[in-house]
Each structure stands twice: as C-alpha cells, then as structure tokens.
C-alpha cells in the first residue's frame, strides 16, 4: 500500500511504500527551511535539486545535490534548506 504524507502546510509531500529493501519515501520539498525528527535510521538521497543540511552533531551546514546522500541516526533531529523544489528518496533501516 502507498501512503501519502504531507508536512509543513503542504510544503513537503511524500509517498511512503514498502519494497523488498524495506520502507522508503519519495517526495518533493518546496523552497524553505525545515526541521525533521527521526524514529529510525534514515538515508536521504537527493534526486534532483539541492538540499543544505545541518545534521546531528554538526556545527556547519553541508550541501547535497543530484545523487548525493546523507545519513541521520534514529531518534535525532536535523534541519534542511531547499533552494527551489527538490526531490528526494529516503530509505529507513
């Protein structure tokens, strides 16, 4: 089954699904800055566009573009800034 998720008044939308590799979401983020919390380990892959992320324990923001990824541990929070619409794939462990 595919589940639809919407956050930040519709500025972030994703489709959640289960594959043989586990749970994933694929979505789009509008321009802006957002803070997310995790309950599971996440690997976030930028498909198209650019995300600038402030990851747990980091003191500086880092940029990620097409095909690049970053990981966030379970039970943590992280911030992202999107510069234009950005699509992503998030894999959960």
The pLDDT tens digits for 50-80 are: 999 999 999 999 999 999 999 999 999 999 9
The pLDDT tens digits for 19-56 are: 998 999 999 999 999 999 999 999 999 999 999 999 99
pLDDT score for 22: 92
For strands 22-29 and 32-37, give the pairing.
unpaired
pLDDT score for 59: 96
What are the CA-CA distances from residue 86 to residues 18, 34, 46 (Å)? 22, 13, 7
pLDDT score for 75: 97
For strands 32-37 and 42-48, give the pairing.
unpaired
């Amino acid at each position: 089954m595919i589940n639809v998720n919407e956050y930040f008044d519709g500025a972030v939308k994703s489709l959640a699904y289960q594959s043989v590799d586990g749970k994933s979401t694929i979505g789009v983020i509008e321009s802006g800055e957002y803070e997310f919390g995790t309950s599971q380990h996440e690997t976030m892959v930028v498909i198209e566009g650019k995300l600038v992320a402030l990851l747990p324990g980091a003191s500086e923001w880092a940029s990620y573009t097409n095909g690049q990824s970053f990981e966030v541990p379970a039970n943590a929070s992280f911030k992202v800034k999107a510069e234009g619409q950005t699509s992503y794939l998030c894999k959960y462990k």
